[in-house]
Amino acid sequence: MGAPEIATAVLDVRNLSVAFATHTGPVAAVHDVSFTVAPGETLALVGESGSGKSVTSLAVMRLTPPAPRTRLDGQALFRSRDGTVRDLLAVPERAMRALRGNEIAMIFQEPMTSLNPVQRVGDQIAEAVMTHRPVGRREALDRAEHLLARVGISDARRRLAAFPHHLSGGMRQRVMIAMALACDPALLIADEPTTALDVTVQAQILELLQDLQRETGMAIVFITHNLGVVAEIADRVMVMYAGRIVEQGEVGPVMRAPLMPYTQGLLRAVPTLTVSDGFVPLTSIPGTVPSPTALPPGCAFEPRCPYALPGLCDATTPPLDDAFDGQQVRCLRWDAVAALEARP
Amino acid sequence: MSIMALTPPPIPRDGPLLRVDRLRQWFSSGGFMSPRLTVRAVEDVTFEIGRGEILGLVGESGSGKSTLGRAVLRVTDLTDGRVVFDGQDVSTLSKRQLRPLRARMQMIFQDPFASLNPRMTVGQIVGAPLRIQNPGISRSEVEARVGDALRTVGLADSHAERYPHEFSGGQRQRIGIARAFVLAPDFLVADEPVSALDVSIQAQVVNLLMEIKRKLDLTILFISHDLAVVGHVCDRVAVMYLGRIVEIADTRTLFRNPRHPYTEALFSAVPVADPSRRRQRILLKGDLPSPLAPPSGCAFRTRCRYAIPACAEAVPPLAHIGGGHQKACIRDDLALQPAC
């Protein structure tokens, strides 16, 4: 196999599947997921718990349990700063360690559990710098101070000496972001980075990430279950259900006119900031997300789908179809559904 | 249906079901070898909840909303002030004196994973309030009422034999709701009841809660940081900041005509699931100040874009501005952005 072509993308994931070994046999958590992210672009990965969105990102970072406990198939082609393209699923662990925290950075939901509670935040950021750059401690600490200031922490010099428990949740997430930016990553994977934060602080962090992206041109993969956040931050969105991509496209079309009944249901279920006379029942999706060990035959969403046709949707697993303008949908009846949805 | 038939409805009385008067809840730490520190988690809070009403309580984490919810249920010993439940002052009642009232006041918690004992079956969990309130109750009666409660929340009788880990988050929250309703209470504190759930499940649980509320004519204190859910569910809303209520009004008035800058900023920060409506938001500076050392005067002034020197001088009182709308802000000249 020659050097793979990935055009302009920073990350090009092709046919990624992830299966975990369990005592009852392998359980597939992610099936045949393909997507790309370009420099300066934000791709949102949306789905409910168990949809496979976090597993997808962990697999790309090679942070799933090692083989044979996890089986990874497919490719995750990453373009380095020097232009070389490597398959993250195939490089040796040593090379992967050199990439993590360097050219690919990751931030998580709960900053308290990701930070070392007994190390000063300045030292933690400096360590991230020294791991990947040939600099001494003093220089690394200067860089840490600069990074703290850049993520909007006032009095950065003094904050270098703070321990994580001295800081609020929002400040800790800023420290995590500073650490992630330590080596100017080309790709930032953010897994629910604002979910544990208050709305006022969430708004600050989203704004910060957008500013930093404008400055650095990094690509962001933003994992979230919050469709409001998607609308705020994403250029493109990928909706996952039961381990598969069920819809993807530009954020505008997908959120304004979703084609997949699951996306439609999700968007309707989000309560909007309005007032009504008396309680109007919220639109819910009946049932629950199927267990990965007991996926229904055919379309995984069929048991909950208002448009499901017996004999069709419960018999055939739908492919990911190209609809229009790069929008893709996994539904056998998407054109019929679109016609039904368009009716007043 | 049947869980309601077992307990006679309370005799309707006049006045609000719950009255909270100048409530204070302080917590102290340190003292031995270290300076004594006092957190004024709830400070000088006064409000009422009418019978059958749902009052929303919103605010950031650390604002004291959960502490207030626990204080009105007398889970804690009040530092000062009064809680009057259905005409009876419960502020100083002992645990034993409170027990009969507990049947009428229940709570639903946020985390359906932490709030159910993993070693108890669902039947034991839901039946526990019945056994505690009626020590002589027969086994068959408990089973019958647990079965009723489980069916009311959309589960099956047979689920009583199973353990919490066998259920999804949404189903566990249903179990927590069944436990709260098995005694057919009149008053419920729901502390972030749907925050831990996925969107599609959240809507199911909100609808279920509202259906039971209607059947039992419940009065609810609905604590949430999700303003959209609060807007759908609540009749009135109180906004808390650093232990105090800073604004309270009926939901429509609060959403259409907020009068406190903090309420405006909270609304503005809510992300809207419509990419064509990306707007300029009012970004609050910094975080909630430490409740150990709140700013002087108005606690919000350090993050408020409308603050003037006078804001530092005195704590603004929660003043009536007509139509049951109250706000704690000395500025009357502001034109604030509505939520919708």
Q: Predicted ipTM?
A: 0.84
CB contacts, 8 Å: A288 with chain B: 168, 170-171, 201
Closest partner residue to B199 (CB to CB) among A48, A171, A200 is: A48
From CA A344, how far away is CA A338, in angstroms rounded? 12
In this prediction, residue A257 carries a pLDDT of 92
How many CB pairs lie under 8 A apart between chains A and B? Answer: 146
Q: What number is the average pLDDT over the span B78-105? A: 94
Strand order from edge to edge, sheet including A70-79: A25-37, A11-22, A70-79, A85-87
Share of chain B above pLDDT 70, in %: 94
8 Å CB contact between B197 and B211: no
C-alpha to C-alpha distance for A254 and A45, rounded to whole angstroms = 13
pLDDT of residue A2: 43
Q: What is the pLDDT of residue B159?
A: 93
Which chain B residues have a beta carbon less than 8 Å from that of A284? 200-204, 207
- Average confidence score pLDDT of chain B: 90
The predicted pLDDT at position A38 comes to: 95
Q: Which of B225, B273, B277 sits opposite A270 (nearest CB)?
A: B273
Q: What is the pLDDT of residues A99-142, one digit of tens each?
A: 999 999 999 887 778 899 999 999 999 999 999 999 999 999 99
Res A5: pLDDT: 56
More confident residue, B12 or A53: A53
Structural contact between residues B231 and B224, judged by C-beta atoms closer than 8 angstroms: no
Mapping DSSP onto H, E and C, the string for B268-318 reads HHCCCCCHHHCCCCCCCCCCCCCCCCCCCCCCCHHHCCCCCHHHHCCCCCC
Tens of pLDDT, residue by residue over A284-303, are 898 888 888 889 999 999 99
Cross-chain CB nearest to A271 (options B228, B255, B269): B228
Q: Note the CATH number of domain A11-234.
A: 3.40.50.300
Question: In this structure, what is the dihedral angle of CA atoms A218, A224, A227, A233, given to the nearest 10 degrees?
Answer: -10
Least confident of A229-238, B22-31, B328-337: B22-31
CB contact under 8 A, B272 and A231: yes
Q: Per-residue pLDDT tens for A210-259?
A: 999 999 999 999 999 999 999 999 999 999 999 999 999 999 999 999 99
Distances (CA, A) of B120 to A252, A337, B123, B163, B166: 48, 45, 8, 6, 12
Expressed in percent and rounded to 5, the helix, strand and coil fractions of chain B are: 35, 20, 45
Give the angle A298-B168-A297 at the CA atoms, nearest 5°: 10
Nearest-by-Cβ selection for A226 from B252, B271, B283? B271
Helix, strand, or coil (residue B34): coil
State yes or no: cis peptide before A68, omega within 30 of 0.
Answer: yes
Picking from A202, A168, A167, the residue whose alpha carbon sits closest to that of residue B62 is A168
Domain ranges of chain A: 11-234, 258-342
CB within 8 Å of chain A, chain B residues 212-231: 225-229, 231
Q: Is the pLDDT of residue B243 over 90?
A: yes
pLDDT in tens, A147-182: 999 898 888 999 999 999 888 888 899 999 999 999
pLDDT in tens, B103-130: 999 999 888 888 999 999 999 999 999 9
- Determine which of A108-112, A191-195, B203-207 has the lowest per-residue pLDDT on average: A108-112
Domain locations in chain B? Answer: 257-340
Q: What is the pLDDT of residue A1?
A: 43
Tell me the angle at which helices B261-269 and A199-216 cross, rounded to the nearest 10 degrees: 50
Reported as a pLDDT band with limits 50, 70 and 90, residue B7 is low
Distance from the Cα of B169 to chain A's closest Cα (Å) equals 10
- Backbone φ and ψ for B170, nearest 5 degrees, come out as -65, -40
Contacts of B199 in chain A (CB under 8 A): 48, 225, 227, 266, 269-270
